[in-house]
Amino acid sequence: MEIKILGTGCPKCKQLEQTVKEAVKASNMEINITKVEEIDKILNYGIMKTPGLVIDEKVVLSGRVPSINEVIEIIKKHI
């Protein structure tokens, strides 16, 4: 599984990155996490508000920072 965090480096984007890392650690799964900061690449995903969360190339969330538990649930749905 691959998770991408879409964001230019704003505080919410950094918060989402930390939340995702904590959720992945708590779920005890091997998941590759990458950060996409280039505007043109972010726009290719069709989101208008950052931060964005992409799992296996599918946008699953944008424009807000979810809780750790919500991220864990999102990950479980995409296993």
Query: CA 20 to CA 32: how far, in whole Å?
Result: 11
Identify the pLDDT of residue 29: 87
Q: What is the CATH number of the domain that holds 66?
A: 3.40.30.10
pTM given for the model: 0.93
pLDDT per residue as tens, the chain (79 positions): 999 999 999 999 999 999 999 999 998 888 999 999 999 999 999 998 999 999 999 999 999 999 999 999 999 999 8
- Residue 20, Cα to own-chain centre: how many angstroms? 6
8 neighbors 42 (Cβ within 8 angstroms): yes
User: Catalytic site residues?
Assistant: 10, 13
The whole domain housing 32 covers 2-77
* Region of 56 on the Ramachandran plot (φ > 0 left; ψ -120 to 50 alpha; else beta): left
Structural domains counted in the chain = 1
Identify the pLDDT of residue 55: 97
Q: Is the dihedral of CA 31, 68, 41, 12 positive or negative?
A: negative
CA distances from 58 to 11, 26, 63 (A): 23, 22, 15
